[in-house]
Structure 1
Amino acid sequence: MDVRMDTLTHLSRRFVGASPFPQRVFVGLSLLGLTLIAAPSDIRAQAGGAGQGGTNTEYNHDLAPRARAVRTQAAIDVDGRLDEAVWTQAPVITDLLQEDPDEGAPGSERTEFRIAFDDNAIYIGAMLYDRFPVTGRLARRDAGQGDFDYITISLDSFHDHETVYQFAVNASGSFRDAVSGGGGGGRGGGGGDISWDPVWDQATQVTEAGWSAEVRIPFSQLRFRPDNEQLWGIQLRRNILRNQERVAFPFVPTLDRGGASRFAHLEGIENIRSGQKLEFLPYLAARGEYLQLESPPGIDFANPYQSGSDYFGEVGLDLKYRLASSVTLDATVNPDFGQVEVDPSVINLTAFETRFQERRPFFVEGGDIFRIGEGGPAGSTGQAPQLFYSRRIGRRPSGRVPSNAVFSDVATATTILGAAKITGRVGGGWSLGLMEAVTSQEIGTYMDATQVVDQAVVEPRTNFLVGRLRRQFNGGLTRLGSFGTAVNRKLGGTDLDGRLHSAAYSGGVDFAHEWSNRTYRFSTMFTGSYVQGDPEVIARTQQSSTRYYQRPDADHLTLDANATSLGGYYAMVDLAKQAGAFGAKVAMAASSPGYEVNDMGFQSASDRLIVDTNFSYNHPDPGRIFRQWDVRGSPDAVWNYAGDRVWTEVNTSFNLQFLNYWSLGGGLRYNPSHDDDRLTRGGPMARTPRRLSGDVNVRSDSRRNTTGRLSYRWATESDDSWNRSVSFNVTLNPNDRWRIQLGPSYDRRHASAQYVTSVADVLADQTFGRRYIFGGLNQTTASLRTTVNVTFTPLLSLQLYVEPFVSTGNYRELKELERPGTYNFLEYGADIGTVSQDPGGSYDIDPDGSGPAASFNVSDRDFSYRSLIGNAVLRWEWRPGSTLFLVWQQSRVNALQGDGLRGTDPWIGGFDLSRDMGDMFSTPADNIFVIKVNYWLNP
């Protein structure tokens, strides 16, 4: 095991010896959090005053409100008119109460819901009376519903208080669907995974009395128990935009918690069928690429692999088979993952990977079952490791063709030969998920300067496997699960055994329990990891930015260049008070140095012991000035396994909503100086300067046709580093079909010591035989994210997205770390040695002038990055479940680094918005056109 037995003893000694201020604040606020968790529940009611925000009455789910569905003997034409006989026979639901703005009061307008069913579907009819004109804008599927008059139907069809299916429709017939786990949130509405696109019908009518809606949801799109007599959970909600009013049946107070566990009981559904068991979704796609191609200097022959106008075609198939009413098999052959949103532009100057959101439907749909653990440290201490990060599957090949290649043909994404998963819920509170995917070996073909053609394997054939088993007890209050992942690669015959693990495994258990009306929660998780491979790749893993085993002063770590495997663990405990006016949480986690899950998951740090404490106060009741407000605070601390305190933060934040629905929010954070075992990127320990940072934001009334949010962030450090950032997001709704969103942002930062490189020098005995080079960095970034949505009908829409992005940085005042354990630097040419810059931009440095130390060269790191990325997507759902996409993607990228180009472009690293925008738009564009059509079959 890679943990020393005296770690906790060493840690306690280091903490006792820490500076008094962060120690006292940390201990005091942690004790406050524990006090709030242990406080009697009646404090919540006292703090809530006379409002409806909370209750200390013990909730009995057996006494939940009831709704009843009736069987229809005649077909229902889903046209929104509610003129079938069954709508006069079904019991009416009218007792909806306000969630906002007057919590617990009756709705300002009468609302009626009725529920019917036949052998194949459930029907909901709604009559939404309104004395004023309704607001119902057209929007593409799954657009946010926050600025419409709309209704939401939330179904817990398996009645396990876990999975919630949400169906929303607004007064113009635009609709949204989502599925969420964990009970669907505090009130069971909103949020969820919107990539889930079931086949269902909806229609609305606007009348003189208000508006009406009719919804048909096939049973084939839901999961439910195989019982003749069904018992479901249901929540019905209505939003009236002009009042910012939300009413719900059943009503759940803001300060209570429960989600689906607080739904009403839906009775009366019996003798139903799950519908057709088999669904096919074949697709056909064609793509044309019109790219700007350039030959390297000195090459007088054309690219043999690309002409600049290249065409491709693809076919594939998605399959869904219902093994039971609550268990589904999904499979895909040659999946098309090209029609997804564009990742945002990012300039990453850290040593850590950037995490992007998964948007591919096969992996997102049903992905909730594969989420592991509840709670844990978050925020400034970093997120818990993610054991299953599906973007590892089908990623860009990790290998490269040799450096002597002048032209190459290498896939931009690894081919997924096939993938399948089984997900669902079975009896006894069990839920399961099992997914396997196989990616192909990718071979890159290349040509060198003498026109000799060769090949290189850039990605091996790989098998990915993830499994999840979970059981609920006590009506969902207690949850116990296990999980495991496996990655196996065929590296034989490749040159990749020094870059990739041959096998990687992880597994563990998680547990959570809630009590006292779900007011309190205890959760814990333990996972282990094991990777194996060639000694070269294991050595690379030990020296990666996640752990830096090579740190010369890290006595608790040993770099083993001959090791063929590496193992570790991650453990977490979390105790939280999650309901009531006062909230609090204390979470602790330990990630051992050898813990490694990046083959299948996502992890940025190990060798960490974390304590994260949070407390909050929420006041949901309107007063003389504020409609609602809340404040939060959090002291956090992180140590490594040697007991060095490598992070400390004390922060507070607030959110205020005024009576006119404008909002003001902000926060303040203080970081005292602490040890930093990452600053030198594998070198000795250093320190960080003190840091004070904050933010403030103003949000306008979301009921208006024009809404906005203005944000300002700032930071200042004791070494004169600073950061200033401003962003403005505005949404324009000129009419019922158009929506325009503009998001300009501007950021400037000055870092006094940005890591540049390290250089070996046996004479640098103060820093263990290497010089760690830093530089002052001035960076400026500006962008304008623009989205235009035009909705012709709820089934036909056009979305335009464009983002011009400019980021420049220039390095000055090159310096080296003076000695370990400090934040002291010696500037070349001022404190020590000499420095000069050659015409190409590189720096020649003699660290001791006329002394014996050898001189060295540092490349010019100044950069100017300009890009314009965008796409246009026409989406037409031409029949239920079948969609046509027409896509145009364009990118213009002008990326320059000073080294070698300083003589041709002296402005590299300098920010001039007019010049940079001109250079960006004058850059030749790459264009890609895609047409894709799929056809849903439900035989």
Structure 2
Amino acid sequence: MTPKSCILIALFLLTCTFSIAQKKSLQAVSVTENITVDGRLDEEIWKTAPIATDFVMFDPDNGKPISPEKKTNVQVVYDNTAVYIAAILYDNEPQKILKEITQRDIFGTADNFGIFINGFNDGQQDFRFFVSASGVQMDAVFTEQNGEDLTWDAIWDSHARITDEGWVIEMKIPYAALRFPKADIQTWGINFYRELRRDRQQYTWNHIDTKIDNESAQSGLLEGIHNISPPTRLFFIPYSSLYYEKSYDYTANTSVADSKFKVGMDIKYGINDSFTLDAILVPDFGQTRFDNVELNLGPFEQQFNENRPFFTEGTDLFNKGDLLYTRRIGGSPSTSGKIRDNEVLESIPTTTNLINALKISGRTKKGLGIGVLNAITEKTFGYLRDTVTGNIRKTEVEPLANYNVVVFDQRFNKNSSVSLINTNVTRNGDYRDANVSAMIFDLNTKQNTYNAAGNFKYSYINEMTGIADKKGYYTGLSLAETSGNYRFSGGATYVSKDFDDNDLGINFFTNYHALSFAANYRILNPNKNFNSFKLYTDAYTEFQNTTGRIQQAKFNIFVNSTTRKNDYWGYGLNIIPLKTYDFYEARVDERFVEMPENYRAWIYFSSNFNRKFAFDFEPSITATSEKDRYTYDFLFIPRYRVNNRLMLIYNFNYIHNNHNKGWVDFDGDDIIFAKRNRDTYLNTLETKYAINNKMTVNLAARYYWSYAENLEFQTLQNDGTLVHSNYNQDKNSNFNSWNVDLSYSWWFAPGSQISFLYRNNAITDEYNLYAVNKNFGKNFTNLFSDNLNNIFSVSIRYFIDYNAAKNWF
């Protein structure tokens, strides 16, 4: 190790004597009178409670004091059940306060007030609660690594009211929504936030210096909370759902209808002041958002977003190390069953049913975070057909399976952590089992000026009977400067060939080592042209371990900026100046295809969303060193806010791949590629109508059409080049997908919701075609011809607090 390397590493091990700027302090006051959360602040306690004021700008002009006309005063009081917050947000032009009504957790075009609470005052995780000027609630868990996770939802109360002097907020946040140590005297990290939306200005009470890349560590202090006795944290959320579905049965050549009724329950239990148990009994995810299915011609599966609330809420601890892809739980079966001679797969379910799931998570007073996630899926069957006799036989394609994640995350110095993670999938019987363990660290100097991060991951696969077990590892290290106008980083990664975390995670690339470097420049305060300006450059090289061939060699340079009128501009170049080698497209181990030099240019513009009409626009073009091989991409997203209740957003995306080359088939020992043209059209429409801040009607419609037309077949050579092939089969593809969700949602009580959903969807997936029908109208019409599924559902969820329910009896 060189002396220079020793000096860099020592920066992360030595204790720095400097600290972040002086923290403000606010004294919370105990209250015995009943507080009605109505935004009127007429309780006696608000006349005497200490006030937090003197906000300073966070963005864009960091550090600038708030103007006297926009003075903001905040008070905090508490009792044995909750903390209460009162905020008066002065505005000398109250008629200009923006107040679009949105769904929960969507900020929209509205002024916002927020409170950031860190019960452990460890500078690493905030529970954030926001209220817009229209009274819409947003809440999130914030960490420096993941930012704001708005999928986390808590049960709390708030009320916003516009006045002649601005607007007023009153909030009640139960202790059940927070995490803090069991101690007689509490000292919490706290910050207050205000967004003046019409000016696109953000302010905080305790100054957050943007030269330092750590927001949580720059909170102020909330003192004075003592001798509280929080009630039992036990909540029941029973639900019932009714589904009616009508679809076309091709076997019977007729439409069929089916209905089903589901009941179940979610349970949340506070094991102690720091740890919480979440469990779902008889899960129901029938009203989750549809998946954006696409034509997939590549060697890897399509990755989908997680839309099931249990697997999105409060999972930041389980996402450590990027080992968890929750769509594996209840995903497609892992086998095709035991196929005999003359049998072919007739049908197989696309998902497995989830029996139940639970998670336990929390953090001790000394900063040790512990998380346990466990889920069980049921045995699943598919059907095989004998090609000789025509008989249909049922076969097991997925046994009873248990999915488990355990995380230990130790925080220290208010900005650093070391974590141990283990994921495990155990399948009943002679099926593949998988275990992955990881150690990761994220170390920062006390002033948050330098960072060292790294990981070591080890996978062990116990294959099915007769197949050798598989072991692999993944390791990486990065060093970065994280403060100031100029910032730099560099890193290295090594991944062995047999590393495999795909039973509970998702990872496509193995058997490589890589080096990376990045540098960027940013302005920290506005100048005469820009509110913000950032210039990024990075370089990345990746080598296949076995052959040493280059898999990736790219250089990027791009700019992100915000004008003084709050329009966003971005533009850049992505350059691959060397020939590289793809070891995955051939679908055969150790075979590769040569990829040409590649040059992509793009520009992005997003107009200020404060305007009633706004739009996003992003064209790009990619050229290669091969004649006539290029891609162009056009994205246009106009939006129109009719009023504070009604919003329309349209998304159009067109992509043309010219003379693209990809795998299509095997012909004996030959690997057949095709030179092809591919066109993709995406049209989506989203409409929101807010009846009030508790009721919304939403429409989401998506039509996706993509087709690939082969121009020439080619055979892959051992050196990665392609030569003309006499292969002659019909291998064109044409894929159409349609989805519509029309929903009504009413939050009729805290944590309680009734929702109605009408959904229809259709897919036509045509492959091995001689010719593709390129007529847009006919493709759209054919999609609905005896192919449309219709589902109507109603679901009711009711939140029950044990402390209130016990009084019923």
Instruction: Note if contact 1:399-1:458 (Cα within 8 Å) is conserved in structure 2.
Output: yes
1:576 and 1:788, CA in 2 relative to 1: closer, same or farther beyond 3 A?
Answer: same
State the identity %: 26
Residue type at the aligned position of 1:691: N
Indicate whether 1:917 and 2:780 are aligned. Answer: yes
Q: Which residue of 2 aligns with 1:217?
A: 173
Confirm or deny: 8 A CA contact 2:324 2:505 kept in the other structure: yes
**Residue 603 (structure 2) aligned to one of 669, 686, 696:** 696
Which amino acid letter does the alignment assign opposite residue 713 of structure 1? Answer: S
Deviation at 1:275, TM superposition (A): 2.6
How far apart, in 2, do the equivalents of 1:792 and 1:338 lie?
A: 24
Q: Offset of 1:66 from its aligned partner? A: 0.7
Alignment partner of 1:141 is 2:104: yes
Choose which of 633, 644, 650 in structure 2 pairs with 1:736. 644
- Match status 1:602 vs 2:506: yes
Residue among 418, 426, 433 paired with 1:480: 418
1:521-578 deviations in whole A, cap 9, x for unaligned? Answer: 1011111111012366xxxxxxxxxxxxxxxxxxxxxxxxxx4201010111111112
What code does the residue aligned with 2:567 have? W
User: Equivalent residue of 1:81, what SS?
Assistant: coil
More strand by share: 2
The CA deviation at 1:505 is 0.7
Equivalent residues of 1:407, 1:448 under 8 A apart: no
Q: Which of 478, 481, 484 is matched with 1:574 structurally?
A: 478
Kindly indicate whether the alpha-carbon contact (under 8 Å) linking 1:618 and 1:629 is maintained by their aligned counterparts in 2. Answer: yes
Long gaps (5+) in structure 1: 1-32, 42-55, 186-191, 296-301, 374-385, 537-562, 761-769, 829-834, 836-844, 846-857, 903-907
C-alpha displacement at 1:58, in angstroms? 4.2
Change (3 A) 1:624 1:195: closer
CA distance in 2, matches of 1:325, 1:184: 24
Secondary structure, aligned partner of 1:803: strand
Q: Residue in 2 aligned with 1:634?
A: 538
CA displacement, residues 754-788 of structure 1 (integer Å, 9 cap, x when unaligned): 2222323xxxxxxxxx3232211111111111111
Q: CA deviation at 1:405?
A: 9.4
Would you say the 8 A contact 1:809–1:910 is kept in 2? Answer: no
Q: Which position in structure 1 is the counterpart of 2:320? A: 372
SS in 2 for 1:220: helix
- Equivalent residues in 2 for 1:531-610 (5 A)? 531-534=461-464, 563-610=467-514
Name the residue aligned to 1:104.
63
Alignment partner, residue 131 of structure 1? 92
Residues in 1 aligned to 2:677 and 2:645: alpha-carbon distance in whole angstroms = 43
- Measured after TM superposition, the shift of residue 508 of structure 1 is 2.4
Answer yes or no: is 1:826 the counterpart of 2:729.
Answer: no
The 3-state SS of whatever aligns with 2:176 is helix
Distance in 1 (alpha carbons) for counterparts of 2:157 and 2:117: 16
Amino acid at match of 2:748: W
Shift of 1:139: 1.0
Q: What's the offset of the Cα at 1:408?
A: 7.7
Residue 583 of structure 2 is aligned to residue 677 of structure 1: yes
Which residue type is aligned with residue 675 of structure 1? Y
Contact 2:146 2:316 in 1 (8 A): no
1:505 aligned residue (432, 435, 440)? 435
Secondary structure of 2:61's counterpart equals coil
Instruction: Specify the code of the residue in structure 1 equivalent to 2:542.
Output: V
User: Which among 123, 137, 153 is matched to residue 197 of structure 1?
Assistant: 153
1:649 and 2:554 matched: yes
Q: Give the corresponding residue for 1:866.
A: 736
Return the offset for 1:922: 4.8
Aligned to 1:876: 746
Q: Report SS of the residue matched to 2:226.
A: coil
Q: 1:348 matched to which residue of 2?
A: 296
- The superposition leaves residues 596-622 of structure 1 with CA deviations (integer Å, 9 ceiling, x where unpaired) of 111111110110101121111011322
Matching residue's letter, 1:772: I
Cα distance in 1 for residues equivalent to 2:534 and 2:210: 12
Indicate the SS of the match to 2:186. Answer: coil
Q: Which amino acid aligns with 1:140?
A: Q
Using the TM superposition, name which of 111-120 and 619-628 deviates more. Answer: 619-628
Q: Which residue of 1 aligns with 2:352?
A: 414
After TM superposition, the score normalised by the length of structure 2 is: 0.92
Q: TM-score, length-normalised on structure 1? A: 0.80
Structure-2 separation of matches of 1:886 and 1:34: 60
Partner of 2:223: 267
Superimposed CA distance per residue, residues 876-920 of structure 1 (whole angstroms, 9 cap, x where no aligned partner)? 112221111211111122222244xx4xxxxx4353333333433
Q: Deviations over 1:787-820 (max 9, x none)?
A: 1111112111111100111111100111223x43
Q: What SS class does the counterpart of residue 216 from structure 2 fall into? A: helix
The C-alpha deviation readout for 1:276-332, integer Å capped at 9, x for no partner, is: 32111111111111011212xxxxxx38xx961011121111111111111011122
Query: Structure 2 vs 1, CA of residues 632 and 915 (structure 1 numbering), >3 Å: closer, same or farther?
Result: same
Larger radius of gyration: 1
* CA offsets 1:571-594 (integer angstroms, 9 cap, x no match): 111111122111111111111001
Question: The residue matched to 1:368 in structure 2 has which SS?
Answer: coil
Match of 2:525 in 1: 621
Flag structure 2 segments of 5+ consecutive residues without an equivalent.
803-809
Conserved? CA contact 2:20–2:218, under 8 Å? no
Distance 2:384 2:583 in 1: 41
CA RMSD of aligned residues (A): 2.7
Equivalent residues of 2:298, 2:585 under 8 A apart: no
Report SS of the residue matched to 1:362: helix
Q: 1:663 matched to which residue of 2?
A: 568
Whether the aligned pair in 1 keeps the contact of 2:217 and 2:415 (CA below 8 Å) is no
Contact kept, 8 Å, 1:663 with 1:699, in 2: the verdict is: yes
Q: Aligned pair in 2 of structure 1 residues 592, 93: CA closer, same or farther (>3 Å)?
A: same
Q: Contact 1:462–1:490 at 8 Å: present in 2 too? A: yes
What SS does structure 2 have at the residue aligned with 1:363?
helix
AA partner of residue 618 (structure 2): S
1:429 and 1:571 map into 2 onto residues whose CA distance is 25
- Aligned-partner Cα distance in 2 for 1:600–1:924: 33
Distance change >3 Å, CA 446–CA 791, structure 1 → 2 = farther
Separation of aligned partners in 1, 2:586 and 2:707: 23
Contact conserved, 1:36 with 1:577, CA < 8 A, in 2? no
Residue aligned with 1:598, SS: coil
Match of 2:82 in 1: 121
1:253 to 205, 209, 214: 209
In 2, the alpha carbon distance for the partners of 1:891 and 1:266 equals 51
**2:782 is paired with a residue of what secondary structure?**
helix
Measure, in 1, the Cα distance between the counterparts of 2:156 and 2:320. Answer: 30
C-alpha offsets along residues 502-522 of structure 1, whole Å, 9 cap, x if unaligned? x11111211221005111110
Amino acid at match of 1:512: D
Cα distance between partner residues in 1 of 2:17 and 2:408: 34
1:230 Cα deviation from its structure 2 partner: 0.8
Determine if contact 1:870/1:890 at 8 Å carries over to the other structure.
yes
Q: Secondary structure at the match of 2:603?
A: strand
The SS at the match of 2:283 is: coil
Q: Does 1:897 align with 2:767?
A: yes
Shift of 1:406: 11
For 1:772-791, list aligned pairs within 5 A: 772-791=671-690
Matched to 2:218, the amino acid is R
Q: Which residue of 2 aligns with 1:840?
A: none
1:839 maps to which residue? none
Q: 2 CA distance for matches of 1:619 and 1:423?
A: 39
CA–CA separation in structure 2 for the residues paired with 1:657 and 1:418 = 47
2:243 to 258, 266, 287: 287
Aligned letter for 1:141? R
Equivalent residue, structure 2, for 1:426: 364
Look up the match of 1:180: 142
- The counterpart of 1:515, out of the listed 429, 433, 445, is 445
1:86 pairs with 2:45: yes
SS at match of 1:359: coil
Structure 1 residue 309 corresponds to structure 2 residue 309:
no
Residues 389-398 or 445-454, more deviating? 445-454
Instruction: Tell me the equivalent position of 1:707.
Output: 614
Q: Distance in 2 between matches of 1:170 and 1:686?
A: 53
- The CA deviation string for residues 457-481 of structure 1, in whole angstroms up to 9 with x for no partner, is 121111111111121222x333222
Give the counterpart of 1:321 among 269, 279, 301.
269
Aligned length in residues: 785
Q: Which amino acid aligns with 2:141?
A: V
